[in-house]
Structure 1
Amino acid sequence: MSELCPRFEKAMQLISKRWVGLILSELITGNKRFSEMESNLPVSGRLLSDRLKMLEKEGIVERNIYSEFPVRIEYSLSKKGQALKPVIEEIQHWADGWITHEEVKDQKENIK
């Protein structure tokens, strides 16, 4: 049991880092270019780049470079990242059942 807590804590720190959940949700649907994610997510390019680098370092996201002209770079979930798919989907299922529109509205107003 002593090994479970640090591993669980590390997993929660990764998933709960701001914008990571949305980035993972975006990549669950398939490979994406940086510009696609930047336009689909309410996050700055700098922060998106930072989070993608962190997820790549953790082995959750892969950066795929295609030698075309112009060079095409796409991001995808690694095998480790794909293993998070049921977790992310279950969190979405839980949120759909338990988080109200009023709570979302209140959260957005508190961020402003």
Structure 2
Amino acid sequence: MLDILEQVGINNYIYLSTLLFCVGVLGILYRRSTIVMLMSVELMLAAANLLLAVFSVYHQDVSGQVFVIFAMAVAAAEVAVGLAILVSIYRNIGSIDIDKLKNLKG
């Protein structure tokens, strides 16, 4: 695995991770759909996981890769809960537009 990292170079992985994170931030800032915002958060988390995995391989430490696997499992559970909440909101309000969600009362 270290051979592949040496061929591509760690800088390219850092650039890719930064690009993915920035795309996620732009998706949150410029989109009003809650599903797209949820996907953007997951993209940002994937960028952080990629960077953590690359540094783990670079330093030849397995604990970072194990942490990435656990983070991916938590992210999958997060998506399931987030989509369930969005389905519930859609059933009650009829829309998942973020501007209409600001008027919710607790």
- Normalising by the residue count of structure 2, what TM-score does the alignment of the two structures yield? 0.35
> Would you tell me which structure has more helix in proportion to its own residues?
2
Greater RCO, CA 8 A, separation 6+ = 2
Q: Which one has a bigger Cα radius of gyration?
A: 2
